[in-house]
Amino acid sequence: MRWGERKLPRMIDRMGALALAKGASLPKEWPLPELAVPRGDLDDWRARRGLAADGSPVVTLSPGAVGAGKAWPVEHYAELARALSGEGASVWVLGGPNETPLAAAIAAAGGSRVRDLTGTDLRNAVLAHAAADVAVTNDSGLMHVAAALGTPTVAIFGPTSPWHWKPLNPLAAIIEPPGDSEARERARIEGNQAVRHRRTGDVAVATVLAAVRDILQRARR
């Protein structure tokens, strides 16, 4: 048993401390997490799932989250999927069995270009993110997966502080509820207590859609 890691401010420092030998000092900087998927594995997976590349951009949506209030409303994800599919993107919904009902609702709203890829195999989500052009996610484990793969990631935060919970890997966009800049500043000192009142539902679909469009446009250029 070891004690003390809960006093560290960032989640990544707490997790990393648990992996160190007892009594070891924290490094000044952690190495960036990295996930790599061989191209052959990715091609085989796409063929098995009937997801052959057709030249359209791929956007993954990860609507699941552990913790009260961290999930962007499924209605918002559905509206985003409908807009993206209407612009010609392929939309893949990812998550575990708990997210399957959410994926069904998103697919029903988004049309035939939206695919439900939820299931029990985490490797499926890793491969999907590796194939994607953009990942849209809540503050969740799949946010860290997408970032570690190097997939441009749009992360939606509500009652959690990005400084404490975001990945070490860079994110393409961090989107928080509008206003309340004072709470954001206090969060570095007070942690989630300063932003616990925020609602992910206050993040507008138009804001997330604009971030995704910007990433896709920059990739095309």
Question: Would you state the pLDDT for residue 2?
Answer: 65
195, pLDDT greater than 90: no
**Sign, Cα dihedral of 60, 129, 140, 68:** positive
Alpha helices in 9-134 (DSSP H): 11-19, 39-49, 74-86, 100-110, 122-131
Please, are residues 69 and 200 in contact by the beta-carbon 8 Å criterion? yes
User: pLDDT tens digits, residue range 114-129?
Assistant: 999 999 999 999 999 9
User: pLDDT tens digits, residue range 28-72?
Assistant: 999 999 999 999 999 999 999 999 888 899 999 999 999 879 999
Mean per-residue pLDDT for 130-154?
97
Percentage of the chain modeled with pLDDT above 90: 72
Cα angle vertex 138, ends 186, 154, to 5°?
90
Q: Which domains does the chain have, with CATH numbers?
A: 1-31 (no CATH), 34-220 (3.40.50.2000)
Question: Would you state the pLDDT for residue 9?
Answer: 83
Q: What is the pTM of this model?
A: 0.92
Question: Would you state the pLDDT for residue 51?
Answer: 94
Question: Which of the four pLDDT bands, split at 50, 70 and 90, describes residue 194?
Answer: confident
d(CA 194, CA 57): 37
